[in-house]
Amino acid sequence: MTKQRVIMDVDTGSDDAVAIMAAILSPDIDLVGLTTVAGNKEINFTTDNTLRVVELLGADVPVYRGCEKAMVCTLLHNRHGDYTGATGVGTKLDAQGRKIEYHTDCLPLPAPTIREQPEHAVFYLVDTLMRSDGDIVLVPTGPLTNLAMAMRIQPKICQKIKAICFMGGGFKVFNATGASEFNIWADPEAAQIVVTSGVPVTMVPLDATHRANFTLDDARELRSWNTPAADLVATLVEERVAAYNAFQPQELPDSAPLHDALALAAVIDPQVLRDVRLMRVDVDISGGFADGQTICDTRAFPDRTPNVRVALDADRERFVTLIKSLLRSCPAR
C-alpha cells in the first residue's frame, strides 16, 4: 500500500510532539515536512522543540520555521492582539496550594544538533504543494497562520491539497475563552480562510480530543517499555494529567487529552473519530465575546454550504491502542 504523504504544521507543544512521533513512526505515513508556527510558545521554542523530537527519533524530516505572529490580530484595538506565543513556565497553585508547572518552554529532551531549513515555512508550503500531484494531506495542529498565508500568496494550492485534518475549534467544549479553542483563538482570520478554502477539511475539536484521553495507567505501561519515545510520551502524559487534574479535571479520572495526536491518528485510521458530521463552519472574527469561536451550523437548512467535517466524539480505545502500537515499534535503548 502506498504511504499517505503528509505535511504537519505544528506549534510544539507537548501534544504536538506526540503527533509528530506518531507520524514519523507510522508505516502508513510519509512525513514530507514539518512547518512550525507560534502558538503554544514563541516560534523559537516551537521550532527548537520540533527539531528535538525529530532528532530523538533519528528521522530525516526537514523542519521549516514559519510565522511568528498571527495574520491581523493586532489591527483591532479590542482584540487579544499581538499574540506571539507564551514564554516561560506556566505556574499555578492547585486547590490544595500545590505548585503545578505546565507549558514549559522546552521539551524534556537534549537541545537539537540538527538544524532547521533556510526556507520560510510559508514558501515551502507553496512550493511543495504546487509541485505535488495533489496527493498531500495537511495536518495543522497549531494556529493556522502559515497555511492561510500560503493560501493568500498562492490560492492555486487549494486545488493541490488533498485534504486538511486540523486540531482546533470547539462544538460545545472550549479552552481559550468561553467561546473559543486556543488554536483558532490565536489566529481567527487564518482559521476562517482555511475552513472556507474549498479544500476538504476535517476539524478535530476539543469535543473529540477530550474523549480520547491518555491516563496515568497508560503512562505507566509506556514507561515499562524503556524506550526513548515511550518514555517521553509517558513523561508528557504525567505532566499533562497533573495540570488537567488541577485545573480542568476530566470525566475519565487521572487522564488528559493529547489533542494533536488525535488529528494525526485520524489520517492513519479515520475510525478513531466518531460522530463525524458535515456542517457549515465559520469562525467569529468580530473581536467580540465570541472571537475565535468555530460557529457550527447544525440547522437542517444552513444558508451557507456545509464545508467542514466536524468530529464530535472519538474512540479512546482505538486511538490509545494505535498510538501505543506505533510507540512500541520504536527500538529499545
Could you list the active site residues?
11
Q: Which stretch binds Ca ion (CB under 5 A): 22-30, 51-59, 133-141, 227-235?
A: 133-141
Q: How far is it, in rounded angstroms, from Cα 205 to Cα 221?
A: 27
Q: Which stretch binds ligand BDR (CB under 6 A): 144-152, 178-186, 304-312, 319-327?
A: 178-186
Alpha carbon of residue 219 to chain centroid:
20
Please say which residue, 260 or 291, places its beta carbon nearer to ligand BDR.
260
Site string for Ca ion, 12-41 (x = CB under 5 A): -x--x-------------------------
Query: Over the range 281-315, which residues count as b (16 or more CB within 10 Å of their CB) and which as e?
Result: bbbbbebeebbbbbebeeeeeeeeeebbbbbbebb
- Residue 66 in the binding site for Ca ion (CB under 5 A): no
Find the helix packing angle between 259-268 and 14-25, rounded to 10°. 20
- Residue 46 in the binding site for ligand BDR (CB under 6 A): no
Strand partners, 19: none
- CA 294 to each of CA 76, 178, 252: distance values in angstroms, whole numbers, following the listed order: 19, 12, 25
Distant-in-sequence, close-in-space partners of 48: CB < 8 Å, separation ≥ 6: 106, 111, 112
Site for Ca ion in 229-268 (CB under 5 A): 260
Choose among Ca ion, ligand BDR, none what residue 181 binds, the Cβ cut-off being 5 to 8 Å by kind. Answer: ligand BDR
Q: How far is it, in rounded angstroms, from Cα 146 to Cα 252?
A: 34
- Residue 137 in the binding site for ligand BDR (CB under 6 A): no
- When binding is defined by CB under 6 A, the residue of 146, 183, 255, 294 that contacts ligand BDR is 183
* Binding positions for ligand BDR, rule: CB under 6 A: 13, 15-16, 40, 141-142, 167, 175, 181-183, 259-260
* Binding positions for Ca ion, rule: CB under 5 A: 11, 13, 16, 141-142, 260
